[in-house]
Structures are given as C-alpha cells and as structure tokens.
Amino acid sequence: MDLGMRSRTGRRAFLPALAAIITWLAPAAFSATLLVTNPEPAVCVTSEDAVFEYTWGTLRPQTGLFSFSPPGLPALAPVVHAPRSAGPGDLVRVLVTEDEELDSLSAQILDSRQHVMFQGVGFRPESASPGHWVVLVGISSEIPKGEYSLRVTAQAGARSVMFLSPVSVVERLFRFERIPLNTDLTTLRTEKDPRKTAEAKEMARVLTTPHADAIFEEGTILVPLAGARRTSGYGDRRKYVYADNSADYSVHEGLDIASPAGTPVPACGRGKVVLAGSRIMTGNTVIIEHLPGLFSIYFHLSEITVRPGDVVAEGDIIGKVGMTGLATGPHLHWEIQALGVPIDPVALASGPILDRDADFGDIGTAKDPKGGE
Ligand SMILES: [Zn+2]
C-alpha cells in the first residue's frame, strides 16, 4: 500500500516563539501564505523534518508538518501517511490519525507552481477506530511524469495543520486506438446541442459533489462481467475518424466490456445510486457513490433497473447491457472517478479500497514512541 512517508510532530516545539512573532507582525501574509484562516496569534509546532523559508514576514512551508494553535491550546498532532510516488490512474490514499475531532480534512496534489491538480475530502472509514481518517485523491491518466507535492490540511476550531511532502509521478504508457464512426455516430458526436452541454454540466456536478455520509464500500470491488472480452482499456488514446475522414482525439476514461445486449450488469460494490437516466452521448447511464467522492459509472445500458437514492449491494443488478448513446456495438462502459478524476478501475479492483490491516496497522507502528521508520 501507499505507505512511504511518515511524519510525527516532534516533542521539541522549536518554532513557537518565531511563529508567534511572525503572526503578530504580519498576520495577513502569514494566513495568506499558509492557506489557513487563523487571525489570532498562533503557536506553530512542526515535525522534526520540516523545511520552510521565512522572508520578509512570510513563512513558506516546504515539506513536513506544521501545526498552528492559539497560545494555551495544545497543538493538533496528527500522524500522516502518504505515498512518495504515484502513477497515472492511481488512487492515492492519505491516512491521518488524530485523536481530536476534526472539522475538516482535505488533500491536494499540487504542480510545481503550487496549482491544485487533484484533490479529495477526508472521511472516517466505517472499519476504523475513532481518530482514523482517510482522504482519497485520484490521479488522471494524462498527468505528465515529474515532481509534484501533496498537501494535507486539517482544521479543528481555531487550530489547523498543514502537511507537505514531495510526490514523484512515474511514467505510464497507454494504448492507442483508431475508431471509425459512421454518419449517424459522427453526427451524434459532433452535432452541437445545448442538451449535451447541460448533461455534461450535470454529470460534472454529480461527480464533484461528495456526500460525507456515503460510507458504503471499503473492500474489494468487482470488475463487472469480468469474464467477457475487454475491447478498450483505461487511458486508451483514441482517434475518432468521422464519416468525412476528419478526425478528433480523446482519452478513453473507463473499460469497455463487450457482452450480448440484455446481459445483466452488476454494481461493482456497495453504494448509493446518485444518477440513473438517459443521456445523449452515454445512453442509459447509472452512477453509484461508494465512498465520499468515489463513484462508479455505467454507460450504454439497454435498460436501467435502479433509481436515484437506491442503496445497492455489490453484485446487485442495476441494468442490462445495451448500445444506447455513442456505441458501435453492445457493450458496458464501466468507469471509476474520484472527485471528477477518472482512475484505473482494474487497478482499483485488484485489492481492497481501504486495506485495514496494511493501512491502519502501520499507523500504529508510526506512533511507536521510538518513532522507528
Ligand atoms: Zn467506453
């Protein structure tokens, strides 16, 4: 699992005096740079490995854990586990233990200019003991390899925490495929239609709206129709060749599974149906939320047998294979998105979404008073 990096707040809080002075002198610069809203004077406690710059009244954390609290309140001292490297299509799991109640927790992957590329919101897994939190962040198949950073922020009342660590994104190669479209499908894909725009907007809204209480599936999801032939994979680079021989390029964000029309389609895991209906491009469509912000998506169904609000178990039938929408033959398009970012569904199905033994067991080790790595 993703357990490369650990950080503990050190017992020696070597920064409080400095941070308090910084805050008194330049509260605006302080809070703006740190992206934490803390107008009161703060004490800053950092992890022993923390690296930061202080110039002209501005503190710039670079790596490590920075915990801010008003004088007199004990600083939050979370333990953060996060990977040091990731690949295109990965679901990055960030694990946080903090004994105190948190008001908010989130994580972001930042590029070298500190722009947010991908993000996730924290939730408490059902299986975890109190004080255990998880944030899931999806990495798109289109991310260039290189150096990025992970930023985790948490807040509890007037206290806040920022954790920063470098993340290397490795290279991954994807397949290329050429798809000729007949006149009807060319029209379907290229014709401007305000309904298409409205449907795209609505789907984007659904896929970027996490529900904090959507704690349904932490185990291993199944690949629907696993025995059937897969005709397109996650991240395939596609060239659509139109009826007039012009072309367009796109990335295929899910898995295409060829199957006879009418084959029952099972839900890949336990979850709540958040969208079930007909769309122009994707035909009869079902979307299920499994964890806050983690969705499975099913396209081109001939028939839908669930309704929004239904809670389904893994394997429950949600519809039937068809070729509604933009499809050249009967197949299921199955896709997983993490807060609007398509991730590799087959990789996700290769093990539990949250591996309690691997993840939370190891957090215990990190809390060892000797702090062994
Ligand atoms: Zn597809």
Mean pLDDT is highest, among 19-23, 90-94, 359-363, for 90-94
Q: Are 218 and 348 in contact (CB under 8 A)?
A: no
Q: Which pTM was predicted?
A: 0.85
Q: Which of 102, 40, 106, 41 minimizes the C-alpha distance to 76?
A: 102
- Residue 130 has which token pair? 């109190």
pLDDT of residue 56: 66
The CATH number assigned to the domain holding 257 equals: 2.70.70.10
Q: Is 131 part of any domain?
A: yes
Which is higher by pLDDT, 46 or 202? Answer: 202
pLDDT of residue 100: 87
Average pLDDT over residues 197-223: 96
> For residue 30, with 0-12 CB atoms within 10 Å meaning exposed, 13-18 middle and 19 or more buried, which class applies?
buried
User: How many CB atoms are located within 10 Å of the residue 139 CB?
Assistant: 24
The CATH number assigned to the domain holding 12 equals: 2.60.40.1930
| 360 confidence band (pLDDT: 50, 70, 90) | low
The CA distance from 40 to 140, in Å, is 38
Cα-to-centroid distance, 326 and ligand 1 (Å): 9
| Domain of residue 320, residue span | 191-233+253-348
pLDDT at residue 128 above 80?
Answer: no
The CA distance from 51 to 64, in Å, is 6
Cα-to-centroid distance, 336 and ligand 1 (Å): 12
- The continuous run of DSSP H or E covering 356 comes out as helix 356-366
pLDDT of residue 7: 36
Cα-to-centroid distance, 35 and ligand 1 (Å): 39
Shared domain for 274 and 338, answered yes or no, is: yes
Indicate the average pLDDT of the chain: 84
Q: Residue 304 corresponds to which amino acid?
A: I
Q: Is 371 part of any domain?
A: no
- The continuous run of DSSP H or E covering 178 comes out as strand 176-180
The CA distance from 181 to 176, in Å, is 16
pLDDT in tens, 68-105: 888 788 888 899 999 999 999 999 999 999 888 899 99
Cα-to-centroid distance, 345 and ligand 1 (Å): 12
Shared domain for 210 and 330, answered yes or no, is: yes
Which is higher by pLDDT, 77 or 173? Answer: 173
